[in-house]
Amino acid sequence: MAEASPYAYALVRIVPVIEREEFVNAGVILFARTRDFLGCALHLDEPLVRALAPDADLPWLARHLEAFRAVCEGDPAAGPVARLPAHERFHWLTAPRSTIIQPGPVHAGVAVSPAAALAELFAARVRRPATAAT
């Protein structure tokens, strides 16, 4: 049986009106150095963003979330940051910024499978449960 390894993760937040400091969790970035793993799971909850900011530019947000994904995955088309080693990309992606797309604080955990931990964090912190029709 494989041993659990430490990892660090941060939520990716959409802050559509920065002055209000309200946000929607839009993803998770997870880095496990000992497993050489850097991954992200992203989802733009358009109705929730619209509830906070009816005039939000959803196509712009989707493009920028995809840029986060490209950097995380090391896609060379994403520019010089995407060509950095995984630990440097993680630190760049989780660096505090005052923009509409912001990383939350970095947290730590341990898991046997970083990919499974990423999926679990995404399900628990980003995806909203489907509401039953009434």
pTM here is 0.91
Number of other residues whose CB lies within 10 A of the CB of residue 94: 20
Please give the Cα distance from 107 to 118 (Å, whole number): 13
Q: How confident is the model at residue 131 (pLDDT cuts 50, 70, 90)?
A: very low
Q: What digits encode the pLDDT tens for the residues 54-63?
A: 999 999 999 9
The answer, yes or no, to whether residue 133 has pLDDT greater than 50, is no
Averaged pLDDT score across all residues of the chain: 93
Lowest mean pLDDT among 40-49, 79-88, 95-104: 95-104
Contact 101, 61 (CB under 8 A): yes
Cα torsion 60, 48, 39, 78 to 10°: value is 0
Over the Cα atoms of the chain, what is R_g? 15
**pLDDT reported for residue 134:** 43
**pLDDT reported for residue 72:** 97
Contact partners, residue 110, CB within 8 Å, separation at least 6? 4, 5, 6, 7
**pLDDT reported for residue 23:** 95
Contact 55, 41 (CB under 8 A): no
Please give the Cα distance from 14 to 24 (Å, whole number): 5
| CA terminus-to-terminus distance, the chain | 45
